[in-house]
Amino acid sequence: MAEYETHEYEVLVIGAGGAGLRAAIEAAAAGVSVGLICKSLLGKAHTVMAEGGIAAALSNVDDRDNWKVHFTDTMRGGQYVNNWRMAELHAKEAPDRVRELEAWGALFDRTDDGRILQRNFGGHRYPRLAHVGDRTGLEMIRTLQDHGIHKGMAVHMECTVVTLLKDGPRVAGAFAYERERGRFKVFRAKAVILATGGVGRAFKITSNSWEGTGDGHSLAYHAGAELMDMEFVQFHPTGMVWPPSVRGLLVTEAVRGEGGVLKNSTGRRFMFDDIPDLYRAQTADNEDEGFRYTQGDTNARRPPELLTRDHVARCIMREVKAGRGSPHGGVFLDISWIKARLPNAEEHIRKKLPSMYHQFKQLADIDITKEPMEIGPTTHYIMGGVRVDGESQMSTVPGLFAAGECAAGINGANRLGGNSLSDLLVFGKRAGEYSAKFAREQKPPAIDARQVDDAAKRAVEPFERSAGNEGPFQVQFALQELMQDLVGIVRSEAEMRRALAGLEALKQRADRAGVAGHREFNTGWHAALDLRHLLTVSEAITRSALERKESRGGHFREDYPDKDPAAGTFNIVVRKNRDGGMDVVRTPIPPMPAALKAIIDEYK
Amino acid sequence: MPTTATFRIWRGNAQGGKFEDYATPVSEGMVVLDAVHQIQADQANDLAVRWNCKAGKCGSCSAEVNGQPRLMCMTRLNQLNLDEPVTVEPMRAFPSIKDLVTDVSWNFRVKKGIRPFKPRPPDAPDGTWRMQQADVERVQEFRKCIECFLCQDVCHVLRDHKQFDGFVGPRFLTYAAALEMHPLDEERRARELKTTHGIGYCNITKCCTKVCPESITITDNAIIPLKERVVDELYDPTVKLLRFFRRK
């Protein structure tokens, strides 16, 4: 093996968003040595974009709330294919994780009696989201960052993992490059936690940053772990649609939580036209009741704008396709109308939604206190990810853990808003705790020089090809177009077959992608190396979506538009076979214990 | 708006560099970062630039656009004169790494040197605290900070006088202010603010406040009250006298 800068930790955390930071803090607290790898600078991870809040049944605002209601809401939102054990742990532990953030310096908005304020959000029965205006994610990541840097972890910024290293069946570490100089680094670790976030960059219209290329999903898959629920991609109903350069940028659900309504070009509030049976009993049937709900009337039912994200996104698509869309291909989201109901509405909006006010004012010349926004669905989140044990977050590869968006289970077929930030905290902590425990029980793994040399050789190949061949960015754009068009919000067998063929062709193009220049901070080279991850997750999404011949949650098939009860009994799992191909298997969902079933019956 | 515009981008590294002109198509609603990305994808794959959220929330894409410290993702092209080349260069207060990317690691080291949050014991038996919204809001202003370091870039103590060893800069005075004014915090930082953090270097020219993309009133709301606190704690004659006796 050539000489590489080598680092050794008992626990290596890959990814420094909410889940990675929380995991690193917990592992460090357990007394093991911890390395934390960030793809960007520390504190810039995509968690900063989370706006609405952290879902936790603190019951500060409505004392009818408790973990059982939160659990039931999460399972209903996930259309009952969630890992019920994770949904249970999540609902039970989220309140403590939020209070812990406060003990570490987070400053949430307050109730009148000085406790943490909670707001309404789609799919949550009671006001449940602890928040800071509409910049909760920033508050969370900064709190974890500022707490974490004093806990003795070694932080490797602007460092990207190319491949995981194995020692027999177990994980042995990771092979990475640092962006600044382009030098390779070898990490040896007894346990590795993946906390790399999502895959949004596989689609053209997305709220995700350049980092969301499915690295953790792909690293785990190629290391022999299983990926589950990859067909379930969440298209957030409200992304910006204009101007073109910000298309896909997120508009927080909190706009609707604070009273914002969706209208089509005829001025109709179309969400009242299609309320699913599963939610009919909890949904307002008139505008007045819906508004009262958003203003804290505990006797009112929620407006249909706050139905689950999958449903709202499809309703918007339907309006657009029917020719009732807005000028730039979306629909209207209006918060300014609350002027008719509230004194000082403009100030109220600016105070409750400061980032949104700022974002529209600066990027679209729209004053949201005076006029409606134009919005449309945007790729936001993937429910699927590394298949993990619900308690420990360990994957099917010994020593390899996953937490946060890159892990599967908690969200089932659709994630409720606000459950992501709580997921990061609850399962980040668990991954940190159990990985430390695992690491303490293990001998250090051996690093296989051949694996390292192979990875290094593969990583520099783009420099050996002529840059005129094929540009890495062009391949990425083509992949994003393909996934958007053929495996997007509305799917069909024929289109997805075409997508598979297209992905195969893109693999060939990716193998020809060349870059010029040298290795120092060469973004073209980085894009070329990310292609493998994007291709892997795109194939996993497509194959899983082909296998699920029904519509459920974030997965909608126009050739199978209904939910099939028989398909509610299994998850779809993909894994790499001996020949390097992708196997797709149906895995039965273990039966839910009677006690949890009783809770769902009581609260649904 | 013209259909193409020229961007004069600084290409180079710590050893030196020069401006290079790139013409690229422009359209309504575009921001400077869009133009830089287009150039990167079509003409200069190896053009180094940091970015993440593209929504003014992560503070990665700081640069100097026509000489002004800005977030590239929040600088609309229709705010600029496109009849002339738009210059885009890295933050000049920090060492260059490559092209638009600078070495901002000093900031991360400085933060570690500031005493962390230390809360008072919980107010309620269940381990929670009570705080009023008004008290929280005062500090929330500082916690809006996205750590883009534009305030550091523009601060003459750092940019012109290179006082990186004796002054933490506006960003970290704001950070210290957020901790000092946190309703729960009990740590004392006045002595270090005066000594190692160098608060005395700030002569309140307010350049930092002017460039803050989050519109944090850095000088008036964070630094001046912090200066007053340092004076109160370290120069108050009564306290000094008490200290004198306590030491005996």
Interface touch B45/A180, C-beta < 8 Å: no
Q: What CA–CA distance (Å, rounded) separates B202 from B195?
A: 13
Residues on chain B touching A115 (C-beta within 8 angstroms)? 128, 130
Q: Does A321 or B236 have the greater pLDDT score?
A: A321
Quickly list H helices, B74-223: 105-112, 133-143, 150-154, 156-159, 169-180, 190-194, 207-211
Domains of chain A: 236-379 (3.90.700.10), 462-588 (1.20.58.100)
Q: Give the 3-state secondary structure of residue A420.
A: helix
Helical pair A67-77 and A84-103, crossing angle rounded to 10 deg? 130
pLDDT of residue A1: 63
How would residue A588 be classed by pLDDT, with cut points 50, 70 and 90?
Answer: very high
Q: What CA–CA distance (Å, rounded) separates A524 from B45?
A: 5
Mean pLDDT, all residues of chain A: 95
Give every strand in the sheet of A129-130, ordered side by side. A54-55, A129-130, A118-119
Task: Give percent of chain A above pLDDT 70.
Answer: 100
Residues A528-582 pLDDT 10s: 999 999 999 999 999 999 999 999 999 999 999 999 999 999 999 999 999 999 9
Characterize the bridge pairing of strands A385-386 and B4-13.
Answer: unpaired
How close is the nearest chain A Cα to the Cα of B1, in Å? 14
Residue A255 has pLDDT above 90, yes or no: yes
Closest residue in A to B31 (Cα) is A245
Cβ count within 10 A of residue A296: 12
Of A147, A256, A301, A526, catalytic: A256
Closest CA to B163 of B113, B106, B112: B106
Residues B225-238 pLDDT 10s: 999 999 998 887 77
Query: Encoding tokens for residue A33?
Result: 């040595």
Cβ of residue A134 closer than 8 Å to a chain B Cβ: no
- pLDDT mean over A369-393: 96
How would residue A184 be classed by pLDDT, with cut points 50, 70 and 90?
Answer: very high
Residues on chain A touching B60 (C-beta within 8 angstroms)? 40-41, 44
Q: What CA–CA distance (Å, rounded) separates A287 from A290?
A: 5
Cβ of residue A31 closer than 8 Å to a chain B Cβ: no
Cβ count within 10 A of residue B134: 9
pLDDT of residue B126: 87
Interface touch A362/B40, C-beta < 8 Å: no
pLDDT of residue A370: 96
3-state secondary structure A455-481: HHHHHHHHHHCCCCCCCHHHHHHHHHH
Interface touch B51/A209, C-beta < 8 Å: yes
Interface touch A472/B45, C-beta < 8 Å: yes
B97 vs A109, A180, A245: nearest CB: A180
Q: What CA–CA distance (Å, rounded) separates A140 from A423?
A: 13
Interface touch A211/B50, C-beta < 8 Å: no
A236 is catalytic: yes
Query: Encoding tokens for residue B17?
Result: 């560099």
Question: In the 8-state DSSP scheme, what is residue A260?
Answer: -
Interface touch A244/B29, C-beta < 8 Å: yes
Q: What CA–CA distance (Å, rounded) separates A497 from B2?
A: 42
Residues on chain A touching B109 (C-beta within 8 angstroms)? none
Interface touch B129/A102, C-beta < 8 Å: yes
Residues on chain B touching A155 (C-beta within 8 angstroms)? 108
Of A131, A147, A236, A247, catalytic: A236
How would CATH label the architecture of B105-247?
Answer: Orthogonal Bundle (1.10)
Closest residue in B to A463 (Cα) is B46
ipTM: 0.95
Question: In the 8-state DSSP scheme, what is residue B221?
Answer: I
- pLDDT mean over A161-165: 98
Beta-carbon contacts of residue B169 (< 8 Å; ≥ 6 apart): B107, B110, B151, B152, B155, B157, B158
* Sites in chain B below the pLDDT cut of 70: 248
Helical pair A18-29 and A136-148, crossing angle rounded to 10 deg? 30
CATH topology classification for B4-102: Ubiquitin-like (UB roll) (3.10.20)
B41 vs A139, A150, A473: nearest CB: A473
- pLDDT mean over A82-105: 98
The dihedral region occupied by A229, where left means phi > 0, alpha psi between -120 and 50, and beta the remainder, is left
Closest residue in A to B109 (Cα) is A149
Residue A467 has pLDDT above 70, yes or no: no
Angle at B111 between CA B96 and CA A180, to 5 degrees: 30
Q: Looking up tokens 């799992």, which residue turns up?
A: A573
Interface touch A245/B147, C-beta < 8 Å: no
Q: Per-domain residue ranges for chain B?
A: 4-102, 105-247
pLDDT of residue A275: 93
